[in-house]
Structure 1
Amino acid sequence: MRAIELAEYGGPEVLKTIAAEDPVPDAGHVLIDVAVSGIQSLDTYLRRGRWTDFFPTTLPYIPGMEAAGVVSAADDPSWIGRRVLASLPNGGYATHVVAPVDKVVPVPDELDLRDAMALLHDGSTALSLLEETPVQAGETVLVQPAAGGLGTVLVQLLAASGARVIGAARGASKLALVRELGADVVVDYSAPDWLSQVGTVDIVFDGVGGSLGQAAIGAVRDGGRYSNYGNASGSADGVTASGGISVRGIDQLGTFRTDNRGRILDLAAAGKIRAVIGRTWPLDQAAEAHRAVEAREVLGKALLIPR
């Protein structure tokens, strides 16, 4: 098989294409011929050696925590030929992966594999965020960044719930996408007066962190809620709050359920939510893909196509 190997921490250039033996599934596992691999922001942090205390890695390794394709081998023959998604500790940037069956989700026939891949992690996380910080119809909710893979799912789910959604992002193309997905108000948080356009909100879902996260929490009403799910700003500093604001930090991600992945796929198959795929790259261009993700050039989900 072909795969991307990470032998040392560093910039995107450390991602190298290698040839390796095809993996063989043990009992209770399946071999997947990968059609599409998902790229997470977390992949770029781990590549630089960040967050390895929470997500241990041993060099060298094949990065990638999500892959989709067709099962080609399994001890249970009922799996063979099925289109599936797999959640992985690593190994997803490859033409073949092995995954335990309890980490594999069948893809509905109505759903394209690329669309399903775009929703595997972000859709599951979005549902869990809304379980941990429930939103009532009529409440005003700020989502930032609203044009990323997770933000685009959150905006759609919140709009469908009857919330008043404010989507914050950077640049006209991203704001246009966020409005198209159902946001009532869009705000460019690179503008100096962006908070005045937000006003007061009941809830913030923040994947940026840093100074923008701290600014956003200042828009939350007394007794409101703030939920952090990422640090796209690159800052690991947490926010501080007053006025009885309930704060959920990024550590909540480690407690989220994973048995809701089928639910997000069913919503997509029924046409109630759509995947937003920003860009795709061949497997050999993983370094270029990481550069684009780190530069925040991608609207929605970034994908690698191994074949």
Structure 2
Amino acid sequence: MHAIRLHAFGPAENLAHETVEDPVPAPGEVRVAVAAAGVHLLDTALREGLQGGPIPLPPLPTVPGREVAGTVDALGEGTDPAWLGRRVVAHLGAAPGGYAELAVVAADRLHPIPENLTAAQAVAMIGTGRTTMGILLFADLTADDIVLVPAAAGGIGSLLVQYARNAGATVIGLAGGTIKAAWARELGADLAVDYTDDDWPSLVRAFLDARGAPGATIVFDSVGGAPGRAAVDLLAEGGRHLVFGWSSKGVLTGGPLEFTDGELAARGITSEQVLGPPMLARAGGADPIRTLETAALAEAAAGRLVPAVQAFPLSEAAAAHRALETRGTIGKVVLVP
């Protein structure tokens, strides 16, 4: 089969499209003929050899990628034969191997792909979608909310815009560039602005003033840095700042915005990091991650959330990484063998 292999940590050009041995499923596993493989911003940091995130650096050489969708074409010993020939999607967890024509995955990680979803859409929901559903557990959105979404054209941001719109909330989308801002507007944002324009906070403030609103009630922040700080400054008293990333500061090397307790108290706002243990605790159940995955796929199957997808050929994985790192993508990035 063909796969993308990384022999040395470093730039995107280190991702090599090679011929490798077909993987063989172990007991309790299946092999998936991959139709779409998800690409995550974390993949780019691990490719660089950066340590400090939730996933350890893999031994080299490695086949990156942790999200796959396709058709089960082989079974390991003891695996339920009903899986053979089915369209499935799975998050591989900490073990990589997704950037390939074939991937092995534990059968207990599989989800059937709903009939009305493509493989690429299913991949978007199994990772990006599940995180979105977890973030929303902290939001309690209503039609009275004014929601500000930085990175509104990204994989998670585009889903948050749709969910908030469906809840009847007023949605303000921030995006890097006029094309992305137009996309956020098409998704349903009441106002979409280009945050590379230095004057964007004034545009948002004018929008709020025209509606007699003292500020936004929720900021969904995955960006941090200067855009994140400016977004927090637009919160009304009692507003909530929900943090699930800091892409402007480096996915592994950066960190969230920092506030003093006095600053938060003086403005009557709260700031909360929602990824990791807080999200899993709120999701609850015997397998919180699977609960979120199931919810995400159900939202997409029902048509309430439509994931935006930007596809690259598997052989162009390096180009996909470069585009993601330079914020040149819209929605979820996937590789297609």
AA paired with 2:271?
Answer: V
Q: Which residue of 2 aligns with 1:66?
A: 67
**Aligned mates of 2:177, 2:22 — CA distance in 1:** 43
AA paired with 2:6?
Answer: L
On the 8 A contact 2:65/2:97 being kept in 1, the answer is: yes
TM-score by length of 1: 0.93
1:248 is aligned to 2:263: no
1:150 is aligned to 2:151: no
The worse-fitting range, judged by mean Cα deviation, of 268-277 and 66-75 is 268-277
On the 8 A contact 1:71/1:80 being kept in 2, the answer is: yes
SS in 2 for 1:132: coil
1:97 is aligned to 2:103: yes
Cα RMSD between the aligned structures?
Answer: 1.8
Q: Which residue of 2 aligns with 1:238?
A: 256
Question: How much has 1:196 moved relative to structure 2?
Answer: 2.0
1:204 is aligned to 2:228: no
On the 8 A contact 1:32/1:73 being kept in 2, the answer is: yes
**Aligned mates of 2:134, 2:255 — CA distance in 1:** 23
Q: Which residue of 2 aligns with 1:269?
A: 301
SS in 1 for 2:137: helix
SS in 1 for 2:35: strand
Question: How much has 1:62 moved relative to structure 2?
Answer: 1.3
Q: Provide Cα deviations, 1:191-238, integer angstroms capped at 9, x if missing partner.
A: 122112223211100111112112211112222111122222134132
1:25-104 correspondence to structure 2 within 5 Å:
25-60=25-60, 61-74=62-75, 75-88=79-92, 89=94, 90-104=96-110
Structure 1 vs Structure 2: percent identity of aligned residues? 41
Q: Which residue of 1 aligns with 2:6?
A: 6
| 1:53 to 1:165, Cα distance in 2 relative to 1, 3 A | closer
| 1:228 to 1:291, Cα distance in 2 relative to 1, 3 A | same
**Aligned mates of 1:153, 1:102 — CA distance in 2:** 26
**Aligned mates of 2:306, 2:293 — CA distance in 1:** 14
**Aligned mates of 1:83, 1:33 — CA distance in 2:** 9
**Aligned mates of 2:19, 2:112 — CA distance in 1:** 28
On the 8 A contact 1:150/1:300 being kept in 2, the answer is: yes
On the 8 A contact 1:35/1:305 being kept in 2, the answer is: yes
On the 8 A contact 1:6/1:59 being kept in 2, the answer is: no
| 1:254 to 1:282, Cα distance in 2 relative to 1, 3 A | farther
Across the two proteins, how many residue pairs are aligned to each other?
305
Larger Rg: 2
**Aligned mates of 1:53, 1:44 — CA distance in 2:** 12
AA paired with 2:153?
Answer: A
| 1:113 to 1:253, Cα distance in 2 relative to 1, 3 A | farther
AA paired with 1:249?
Answer: Q
Q: Which residue of 2 aligns with 1:222?
A: 237
**Aligned mates of 2:242, 2:46 — CA distance in 1:** 23
Question: How much has 1:255 moved relative to structure 2?
Answer: 4.0
SS in 2 for 1:99: strand
TM-score by length of 2: 0.85
Q: Which residue of 2 aligns with 1:179?
A: 185
**Aligned mates of 2:53, 2:330 — CA distance in 1:** 29
| 1:237 to 1:261, Cα distance in 2 relative to 1, 3 A | closer
On the 8 A contact 1:214/1:240 being kept in 2, the answer is: no
On the 8 A contact 1:67/1:117 being kept in 2, the answer is: yes
On the 8 A contact 2:184/2:192 being kept in 1, the answer is: yes
Structure 1: any 5+ residue segments left out of the alignment? none
Of 116, 125, 128, the match for 2:122:
116
Q: Provide Cα deviations, 1:234-268, integer angstroms capped at 9, x if missing partner.
A: 34132133224221226547844322222222222
AA paired with 1:24?
Answer: V
Q: Provide Cα deviations, 1:44-87, integer angstroms capped at 9, x if missing partner.
A: 11111224442102231211110110011222110001101110
Structure 2: any 5+ residue segments left out of the alignment? 206-214, 281-287
The worse-fitting range, judged by mean Cα deviation, of 168-177 and 266-275 is 266-275
